[in-house]
Chain A
Amino acid sequence: MNRFVYADNAATTPMSESVYNAMKPWLTEHYGNPSSLYRIGREAKKAITEARHKVARALNAADPTEIIFTGGGSQADNLAIRGYVKGLSARGRKHIITTKIEHHAVLYTCEALEKEGYPVTYLNVDAQGHVDLDQLREAISDNTAIVSVMAANNEIGTIQDLKAISDIAHAAGAVFHTDAVQAVGHMALDVQAMGIDLLSLSGHKFRGPKGIGALYCRKGIALQPLVYGGGQERGLASGTENVAGMVGLGAAIEEATGENLAPKMDYVRGLTNRLVEGIMKIPYTHFTGDPVNRLPGTASFVFEAIEGEGLILRLDFAGVCASTGSACSTGSLDPSHVLMAIGLPHEIAHGSLRLTLGEQNTVEDVDYLIETVTKVVEGLRAMSPVWIDGKPDLTAATELHS
């Protein structure tokens, strides 16, 4: 019987047992609406407040009221960018600066705003995925409202220099938003020390529940709501609160950050290093992203002469969950925008594989991953017309070999 190895922790993580237990009573016994004045309503309100404190503590926010619970990371990103440029704090500034490797929650929000007359600059990244800070300095002006750069990339794991970016944004009078959906619970974040004005996060990326996220919004910033209604979350996320989700998010962030962060991530980093070493023994394989300054659990590769969808399906048959940025996974002819932005040729980017580990993975899992990926890559290469005599026959690859 095959093992089952979940190696797609960047897609989502298994909810931790203690988070589930913390949530359970808020789904069943304590069903009160937090806006209600009677006891069970007040209890729910109190639970939300506690959860908000936990999120604030994890990010080192100055005040818990700076935390706005949302329906997930994408909603937080939309609220941050659209809410800011349409809000009073933008003071008429319209220009948005972001990057070419953002999540679609940011990219498509920016594209939509572009159509509404907001000029957008999409910054380039280098071959490892670092944002071009010189281009940021050139592009920023006194019309720039907001600079939005992700803390760490979801596909290749590269971590950005957040403090340097916020310094440039602030010097021009713009605010700094970071999509930290992939980063929270995986790297240390301090909104005050890093000069972050707006930060998006999502519960299910650090063993919390799906469908709940939060936006950190520094005190004094006035956002325009996306949803109008009962005025929950300071009027910025109307709708009866997802109490159990908020409680779960609070429990999960407490478990994943603070003193728990370093020991957990040291363990995960050790696993990932072993994995990278093993996978890189496969010939004509390239590591993508920053090999050092990356999320501890993220390892992404490209294998020449094969295509990623086939790789994922065959890994699935062997009990391995992984992901790819190949065109066949995106439903278009282009591989992922991130792999394109770091300058990979199409021919090579089609053969991408992302393995992302979590604290629940073991050394045995890693060894099984190495063994299985090696076998599957060999099998697909054996039937590839561009794999000849143990070598890739791809003109686009010659540059990578030099």
Chain B
Amino acid sequence: MEYSDKVFDHFTNPRNVGEIPDANGIGEVGNAKCGDIMKIYLKVNDDEIIEDVKFKTFGCGAAIATSSMATEMVKGKSLSEALKLTNQAVAEALDGLPPVKMHCSVLAEEALRSAIADYYRKLGKDPEAILGCSMDCASCHHEHDHG
């Protein structure tokens, strides 16, 4: 299994690590049993622009690198743009991931969408209408690629 230089870069010097005390959207996906947990904090302004984003991740090198890259890719973007971010785009931005690590990019996408869903929920809006899914990943029965 080989990691690209970009994965190593983002794993060694991860961007946007930490918490946002006054975050208005927080998403957490994964579980410790599987060895991956990602938590993303969003600070979204009234124009629905992501002003700040931070993450905390328990997981392997790829999990940390995809969290770092995904947060970089949505910083300063609008929520509608952020919702278009796919796990493949995150993986491509890292110059690819080994096949067994693709699920880490899925987690990054889910963590972000889950934080956005939380933002809408806090505003009293139904996230399902906007995201097409409640992003309540803990009780979700969809089959995710978690290989």
Contact = CB atoms under 8 A, between A and B. Distances in A.
Contact of B35 (A307, A314, A331, A396): A307
A326 interface: yes
Contact of B37 (A313, A314, A346, A385): A385
A62 interface: no
A307 B57 CA distance: 10
B1 A331 contact: yes
B14 to A, nearest CB: 7
A296 to B, nearest CB: 31
A329 to B, nearest CB: 8
Contact of B12 (A317, A346, A347, A387): A317
A345 B31 CA distance: 13
A306 B34 CA distance: 12
Contact of A386 (B17, B18, B58, B146): B58
Interface in A299-345: 305-310, 313-314, 317, 326-328, 331, 333, 335, 345
Given A347-B32, A385-B28, A394-B32, A310 B14 contact: no
Given A331-B100, A335-B35, A387-B58, 16 more contacts: A307-B60, A310-B63, A314-B12, A328-B35, A333-B35, A333-B146, A333-B147, A346-B35, A350-B32, A350-B35, A383-B14, A383-B18, A385-B28, A385-B56, A385-B57, A396-B32
A50 B133 CA distance: 72
Interface of B: 1, 8, 11-12, 14, 17-18, 28, 32-39, 55-64, 100, 146-147
A383 B11 CA distance: 11
Contacts of A328: 35, 59-62
Given A346-B33, A350-B35, A383 B17 contact: yes
A306 B58 contact: yes
A343 to B, nearest CB: 15
Interface string A257-271: 000000000000000
B100 A305 contact: no
6 contacts: A328-B59, A333-B34, A345-B33, A346-B32, A385-B38, A386-B58
Nearest to A324: B60
Contact of B58 (A313, A317, A327, A384): A384
A385 B60 contact: no
A347 B60 contact: no
A310 B59 contact: yes
B58 to A, nearest CB: 4
Contacts of B28: 385
Interface string A373-402: 000000000111111000000101000000
Contacts of B64: 310, 383
Contacts of B60: 307-310, 326, 328
A384 B56 contact: yes
A339 to B, nearest CB: 12
B58 A385 contact: yes
In the complex, the 3 A-B pairs of residues with the closest C-beta atoms, listed nearest first: A328-B60, A309-B60, A385-B56
Contacts of B147: 333
B143 to A, nearest CB: 15
Interface string A233-259: 000000000000000000000000000
Given A307-B59, A309-B61, A310-B61, A385 B39 contact: yes
A78 B35 CA distance: 33
Contacts of B1: 331
Contacts of A347: 32-33
A328 B102 CA distance: 12
B32 A327 contact: no
Contact of A313 (B11, B32, B36): B11
A383 B18 CA distance: 6
A383 B56 contact: yes
Interface in A84-126: none
A306 to B, nearest CB: 7
A80 B120 CA distance: 64
Nearest to A331: B100
B97 to A, nearest CB: 12
B9 to A, nearest CB: 11
A327 B35 contact: yes
B58 A305 contact: yes
B125 to A, nearest CB: 26
Nearest to A383: B17
A327 B62 CA distance: 13
Contacts of B146: 333
A333 B100 CA distance: 10
B40 to A, nearest CB: 10
A310 B101 CA distance: 13
B122 to A, nearest CB: 19
